[in-house]
Amino acid sequence: MASLGERMIGAARLDAGTYEEVEADTTATGQAALVVVLSSICIALGAQLHAGLGGVVAVTILRLVAWLVWALITLQVGTRLLPGPATQADMGQLLRTLGFASTPGVAGLFGLVPGIAGVVDLVVSLWLVAAMVVAVRQALDYETTGRAIAVVVIGAIAYFLIAFLLASLLFGTSRMS
């Protein structure tokens, strides 16, 4: 069994074997949560929110909740709407693979380098999406990457609709415009 660091490196390299390993390791959910926390802290610091410790904590909590919601949406879309012939997955498998898919967020810390924050944001965002596609493909046992991309796109639409509706309910529509 690989160490946390080795798994993070494999996840960042988009190594399908690493995602298969964490999918199968039922004890790796805590590691996946730790990766989400580390990634969140690095993204918050790299974004230079100037919100202090409270801002970093808030971003981390929001990203942990987002990880749980995203895994649930992905499970539903991937197993009910777009299952492949070999698709068998549970919430734990998706939490583990998607948690490790947040590894590229650690590179968000490079946003602290003056003048490159925008480039860092773009590269990290694209890298996170690519890692998510690999994680979904492996967790849902898809034979093609296209199906995993479809799950990520449909899931993203559902996720953002839910987020918008919740924000509207919590903050009212007058504040949203």
Q: Contacts from 123-126 at CB under 8 Å and sequence distance 24+?
A: 124/43, 124/46
Give the pLDDT score at 108: 95
Taking 70 as the threshold, does the pLDDT of residue 43 lie above it?
A: yes
Which amino acid does the sequence have at 79? T
Taking 90 as the threshold, does the pLDDT of residue 166 lie above it?
A: no
Q: What percent of the chain has pLDDT over 70?
A: 96
Give the pLDDT score at 174: 52
pLDDT in tens, 133-158: 999 999 999 999 999 999 999 999 99
pLDDT in tens, 48-103: 776 788 888 988 999 999 999 999 999 999 999 999 999 999 999 999 999 999 99
Instruction: Give the closest residue to 87 by CA, choosing from 98, 77, 101, 95.
Output: 77
Give the pLDDT score at 164: 87
The chain-wide mean pLDDT, for the chain, equals 93
> How many residues comprise the chain?
177
- Cα–Cα distance, 109 to 173 (Å, whole number): 34
Q: How many CA atoms lie within 13 A of 73 on its CB side?
A: 21
Q: What is the DSSP string of the chain?
A: ---HHHHHHHHHTT-HHHHHHHHH-GGGHHHHHHHHHHHHHHHHHHTT---HHHHHHHHHHHHHHHHHHHHHHHHHIIIIIS--TT----HHHHHHHHHHTTGGGGGGGGGGSTT-HHHHHHHHHHHHHHHHHHHHHHHTT-S-HHHHHHHHHHHHHHHHHHHHHHHHHHH-HHHH-
Domains of the chain, by residue range, sit at: 4-176
Taking 90 as the threshold, does the pLDDT of residue 170 lie above it?
A: no
Which amino acid does the sequence have at 134? V
Q: What percent of the chain has pLDDT over 90?
A: 80
Q: State the greatest distance between any 2 C-alpha atoms of the chain, in Å, as a whole number.
A: 52
| Comparison of pLDDT for 165 and 9, the residue scoring more | 9
Give the pLDDT score at 173: 58
